[in-house]
Every structure is written in C-alpha cells, then in structure tokens.
A and B are shown apart, each in its own frame.
Chain A
Amino acid sequence: AQSVAQPEDQVNVAEGNPLTVKCTYSVSGNPYLFWYVQYPNRGLQFLLKYITGDNLVKGSYGFEAEFNKSQTSFHLKKPSALVSDSALYFCAVRDMGTGGFKTIFGAGTRLFVKA
C-alpha cells in the first residue's frame, strides 16, 4: 500500500525567509503526489501535484515542490514566506485500492510564519 510521511508536526519560519515542509513517500510503481493546504475552519485546498516530467512542480500561491526519486521525497517549498501562509499542510499520494483510487493523506504539518 502507498503511504506518505510528514516528519515534522510543526515548522516555524520568519516572514521573508524560505520555507520547506517535508514529505517522504512509499509507493509501488509511479507515484502521484499532491500537496494540499488547510486554513482554520476550512476544507483542504489543492496546491500542486506531481505526476511525471519535471521534478520541480510549481503550484498556487508561489509554492513549489521538488520530487526526488532517489530520496523518495516530495518537499514543499516557497522562496519567501508570508504570514498568510500560516496553515496546516498535507502531503498526499494516490493509491489504487479495491474498487478505485483513493487519496492517502499524511498527518499534516502546521506552518507558523512570524512577522
């Protein structure tokens, strides 16, 4: 079965500094990887995905993620953090289960950006 791990419960960064939120995956075959963001009292919002092709994927709100096959990682990055980026971030992988595809989410990483 596919799985993702987010090793950090929380990431703290100062506004204007680069940020990284880590994700590692375990899959058989080619991985379909996603990042979602959740703001307080809201549902998850899609940020970006990796399917194939360029290892650097660009997404919404200036975020990007780097797919690294040898390290089985898909870290989320942003060159300059904003206070408004503070939220809960989920890494996810698409898994083919009985009956159809389903998304397996990581445990989430809370990002705090200080002004």
Chain B
Amino acid sequence: DTAVSQTPKYLVTQMGNDKSIKCEQNLGHDTMYWYKQDSKKFLKIMFSYNNKELIINETVPNRFSPKSPDKAHLNLHINSLELGDSAVYFCASSQGRGQETIYSNQPQHFGDGTRLSIL
C-alpha cells in the first residue's frame, strides 16, 4: 500500500508547455505539501494545504498553482514551463492541522517524487 503516491514519476517536456503533477495520500492526514528538490538536493517547501485550504505559500512564481479537490489530493499545475523548473517535486502529508501546536511535532510522509526535465 503506497501511502503518498505521485504521478507521473518522470515528466520530460519542452519550455513553454503546461503540465500537472498529481498527488494522493491514503493516510487520512489533514495537511499536504509540495516541495522542490534542486540538483544539489536542497529541499524547499512550496505550498502547504490543510483540508483543501492553502495555509503556506512560499515565494513561488504565479506559474505554479496548487489545487486540492479534497483533503486526500493535492495537485500541482505549472504553466509556461522554464528551464529553471527542472527539479524533483515531492508531495508530502502529515497528521493534523498545520496551525495547531499539538501537531507541530508530527513527521511528514513523502511520495517518491516527480522528476521534471525541461528541454
């Protein structure tokens, strides 16, 4: 049973295209995240959603738009792809509401990533 699953695993496309990455978690978690891992393996949060509501939006270009149809799904749509968007994108989830202190010590569960390559 895959707890956090992302599709596709690999995405190769050309500059200027629009693409989407899907994420689903079956852990019953309330909070989901998108991270970007660059070529040097540095990991940075992009977005966090709690029960379909956006709660964290880091400095990310407007070309990136997350969408959460329900608390088990968090998709990422990217418009007008650029060379600098090439990276591995990870979805993650954690228990509880993102703003509640009692849940602040809960670990995150990660998907296996989507490797995005822009030609």
B11 to chain A, nearest CB (A): 14
- Report B-chain residues with C-beta under 8 Å of the C-beta of A46: 107-109
Q: Which residue of A lies closest to B104 (CB)?
A: A101
> Among B12-20, B41-49, B69-77, B79-87, which stretch is in contact with chain A?
B41-49
Q: Is the beta-carbon distance between B55 and A99 smaller than 8 angstroms?
A: yes
Q: Is the beta-carbon distance between A100 and B113 smaller than 8 angstroms?
A: no
- Report A-chain residues with C-beta under 8 Å of the C-beta of B42: 105, 107-108
Total interface residues in chain A, CB < 8 Å: 26
A70 to chain B, nearest CB (A): 22
Q: Is the beta-carbon distance between B56 and A32 smaller than 8 angstroms?
A: no
Q: Is the beta-carbon distance between B110 and A102 smaller than 8 angstroms?
A: no
Q: Is the beta-carbon distance between B99 and A44 smaller than 8 angstroms?
A: no
Q: Which residue of A lies closest to B98 (CB)?
A: A100
Q: Is the beta-carbon distance between A45 and B110 smaller than 8 angstroms?
A: yes
Given contacts A99-B98, A102-B45, A108-B41, contact A44 B108 (CB under 8 A): yes
Q: Is the beta-carbon distance between A100 and B112 smaller than 8 angstroms?
A: no
Please tell me if B21 contacts chain A, counting CB pairs below 8 Å.
Answer: no
Total interface residues in chain B, CB < 8 Å: 28
Please tell me if A28 contacts chain B, counting CB pairs below 8 Å.
Answer: no
- Report A-chain residues with C-beta under 8 Å of the C-beta of B113: 41-43
Please tell me if A96 contacts chain B, counting CB pairs below 8 Å.
Answer: yes
- Residues 65-108 of chain A: 1 if any B CB is under 8 Å from the residue's CB, otherwise 0? 00000000000000000000000101000101111111101011
Contacts of B103-119 to chain A: CB distance below 8 A? 103-105, 107-113
Interface residues of A (CB under 8 A from B): 32, 34, 36, 38, 41-46, 49, 51, 88, 90, 94, 96-103, 105, 107-108
Beyond A43-B110, A44-B110, A108-B41, 4 extra complex contacts between A and B, CB < 8 Å: A45-B110, A101-B104, A102-B45, A108-B43
**Cross-chain pairs A/B with CB under 8 angstroms, 22 sampled:** A42-B112, A42-B113, A43-B4, A43-B90, A43-B112, A44-B110, A46-B107, A46-B108, A49-B107, A94-B105, A96-B104, A97-B56, A99-B55, A99-B98, A100-B50, A100-B97, A101-B98, A102-B45, A102-B56, A102-B98, A103-B45, A108-B43
